[in-house]
Structure 1
């Protein structure tokens, strides 16, 4: 597959005019990537948010709690089987392109993910059955959702810069899902229909992605267990740390599913959906900045100034957004779910401060420490956070239910922020992320 060089454009131009032209190209590339990814993430998170008023009212508190439990457990399976591809997948693509081995990488990634999906899907099935709230048919339908989500090669699409194609596919699939859900999901008995529509939507996106990026000549491709094992062994430390932390951040809803009444699950899930929507608007920009760093490792001059400015801008914007959510929490919950979910206002006013912390963690952790070769330090920060935050979450949920789950989620994100900022300060890398003295 043909590809362009990943060397910095500005480094190949001569004179000040070349530098200015290179900077303009870099900014244009950043804006284009960010725009496409914002669109993709907006569809992924805002479309479900737009469906929430209809789904919550149609399913009612009890069945909406069951639906939230399904989504929570599904997220854990995806977290396990994704195996850090969401973090370093674009870097893998660039390296594979340089070796002419993209087809091998794609096939090996499928082998690795299937190996992880098998135990993940089994645990998913057992946990849903254990709750005693989900029918066998609903479980069978629900387990297909994390499988289809995990096998969708978004990381490869990002690495190949096929973002606008993915945006078009996502728009068609998500908007169609929203229209059909609003039209057909009317009663609590429509839970299975809702899950089935979600599965069909994800399978459509998966098929379109592989059709677009899979090598045309497949005659020499054979599945390789060795290749899948190699991927698993190379990234084990990063996977273990990111999975541990990711599991801890989303532990609240999972713990509520086994310790609290179904109403508490529903209350927290409604509040958490707003948090997810906020992250869906901010994460794509930090992902675009990561792609820029991964492609060129820009660490000096005007290109780095662009990164610093963008970091300050996105962090400021998401902080303002969180404050708006805090003061408008009552109105937001009433509009999204109605008066029966009014108890979600309190948890929302707590977890609405997760997005600024998560954005800071992306800027300092993934986009600075990881890109600068400090993988071990970043992994250590994640493991330390998980070790402290997991028992804290358990105690908070047992003692305070949905409110405790909200507190525990904010605590985990804040703790990781403190640790990563300290590492960046001590290593002198803080000035790579923000316009501050003392970095390199």
Structure 2
């Protein structure tokens, strides 16, 4: 991190990252209604299907490197060390991308609905690879938060401009898919130019198979925890689709999107705080970050719970009043999630990825077990209540682990003090 750290700087970085993510939300807000008018409902559905499939590749390719590589890079002290982390990470991502691409090509050839759009799929896969090389985590590790936010915003503005200028009718479906995936690829070009050519903060170095394998092994538990989060997120909608009326799916989906917006912004902020937590040498800073994250989640959750009654009818229309109570319950879940997020941040900073994977997997199992009975009992409200129970279980598990480790540390300190006292008495007695 460049320059001395302080609470003021940490707060400024958090606000900068949050504003960058909020600015990036303008892209889908403009592109979605534009594509709906230009392409029509049927072709927009095809584009959304292709993007949904490619989004799976994006999640798998990330493999948890947004955390593991960020932590490794934040602990690097020289250009050579940072360069090694950078190259090992991007080549590890490339290996995963190659495996995913082989699978996606096979799926595209087999599934009739995708076969006729093979060109758009291949173009999308290439852009996913380019986006996988975006070292945004390196910018965060170096404390370049303003640059990170500007690159994020600029890449989306450029992509949005390209979309509006080039997509004119359904014949431009391939371009529509490409511009949706272009922001990360553009950000990669900008970030590499800054890191290598402008700042000289990293350089292209050779990597070994062992280095790439080590990077993959280090991030594997994080991939497991990310996968369990995806399972938890998708189970509710699937259960509602199978056992409830379509309107209940819409009510829950609307509430979930409000919660995802909060979590999307806060995840960026929390990830940016990881280098400070990993340093581990300033207890006051760790407390400041922890309290700040809990307060932000608590404030956002309270706003959702309190404001849902008038925001939902105004923003989504009177037909969506059934989403009011699910949104209120999502607000409660967000408040609890603040505790889980802070404790997860501490565990990741201490390189306890296995613990995070284990506890999030338990949470996913609990949610899957609860979801169908909850949906059958109360539809969208039941699904959100299941989310609250799942989040509470995970928060409780993380708190139990924290208290257990503190108790063990206190016993160890007391044992050390007792041993020191015995040695001192022996010295006094001349033994």
Q: Does the TM-score normalized on the shorter chain lie above 0.5?
A: yes
Shift of 1:197: 1.1
Structure with higher RCO (Cα < 8 A, 6+ apart): 1
Shift of 1:314: 0.8
User: 1:387 aligns to what?
Assistant: 365
1:86 and 2:69 matched: no
Could you say what secondary structure the match of 2:91 adopts?
Answer: helix
Task: Please list, as runs of the form range in 1=range in 2, the aligned pairs for 1:309-320 lying within 5 A after superposition.
Answer: 309-320=291-302
Q: 1:107·1:223 contact (CA, 8 Å) conserved in 2?
A: yes
Q: Give CA deviations for 1:77-120 in whole Å, capped at 9, x if unaligned.
A: 22322222222323211333258422222111122111111222
Shift of 1:228: 0.4
Task: Please list, as runs of the form range in 1=range in 2, the aligned pairs for 1:273-352 lying within 5 A after superposition.
Answer: 273-299=257-283, 302-324=284-306, 326-327=308-309, 328-334=311-317, 351=330
Partner residue of 1:362 out of 341, 347, 367? 341
User: 2:130 aligns to what?
Assistant: 148
Give the root-mean-square deviation of aligned CA atoms.
4.2
Instruction: Assess, with a 3 A threshold, how the Cα gap between structure 1 residues 218 and 303 changes in structure 2: closer, same or farther.
Output: closer
Q: 1:245·1:382 contact (CA, 8 Å) conserved in 2?
A: yes
Shift of 1:132: 4.5
User: 2:56 aligns to what?
Assistant: 76
Instruction: Assess, with a 3 A threshold, how the Cα gap between structure 1 residues 96 and 411 changes in structure 2: closer, same or farther.
Output: same
Structure 1 window deviating more from structure 2 (376-385 vs 94-103): it is: 94-103
User: 1:437 aligns to what?
Assistant: none
Q: Give CA deviations for 1:380-423 in whole Å, capped at 9, x if unaligned.
A: 21222233435666888999998887676666544433322333
Partner residue of 2:179 out of 197, 204, 219? 197
Give the alignment's TM-score, normalised by structure 2. 0.74
User: 1:423 aligns to what?
Assistant: 401
Instruction: Assess, with a 3 A threshold, how the Cα gap between structure 1 residues 357 and 46 changes in structure 2: closer, same or farther.
Output: farther
Shift of 1:347: 6.6
User: 1:33 aligns to what?
Assistant: 13
Shift of 1:243: 3.0
User: 1:13 aligns to what?
Assistant: none
Instruction: Assess, with a 3 A threshold, how the Cα gap between structure 1 residues 221 and 145 changes in structure 2: closer, same or farther.
Output: closer
User: 1:207 aligns to what?
Assistant: 189
Bigger-Rg structure (1/2):
2
Could you say what secondary structure the match of 1:97 adopts?
Answer: coil
User: 2:87 aligns to what?
Assistant: 107
Instruction: Assess, with a 3 A threshold, how the Cα gap between structure 1 residues 308 and 247 changes in structure 2: closer, same or farther.
Output: closer
Partner residue of 1:377 out of 318, 334, 355? 355
Distance 1:74 1:253 in 2: 22
Q: 1:69·1:254 contact (CA, 8 Å) conserved in 2?
A: no
Instruction: Assess, with a 3 A threshold, how the Cα gap between structure 1 residues 388 and 312 changes in structure 2: closer, same or farther.
Output: closer
Instruction: Assess, with a 3 A threshold, how the Cα gap between structure 1 residues 313 and 219 changes in structure 2: closer, same or farther.
Output: closer
Could you say what secondary structure the match of 1:214 adopts?
Answer: helix
Q: 2:97·2:129 contact (CA, 8 Å) conserved in 1?
A: yes
Q: 2:301·2:331 contact (CA, 8 Å) conserved in 1?
A: no
Distance 1:234 1:102 in 2: 16
Could you say what secondary structure the match of 2:6 adopts?
Answer: helix
Q: Give CA deviations for 1:183-219 in whole Å, capped at 9, x if unaligned.
A: 6657666543321112333221111111122375999
Distance 2:40 2:254 in 1: 12
User: 2:221 aligns to what?
Assistant: 237
Distance 2:235 2:171 in 1: 27
Distance 1:136 1:406 in 2: 38
Task: Please list, as runs of the form range in 1=range in 2, the aligned pairs for 1:424-439 lying within 5 A after superposition.
Answer: 424-428=402-406
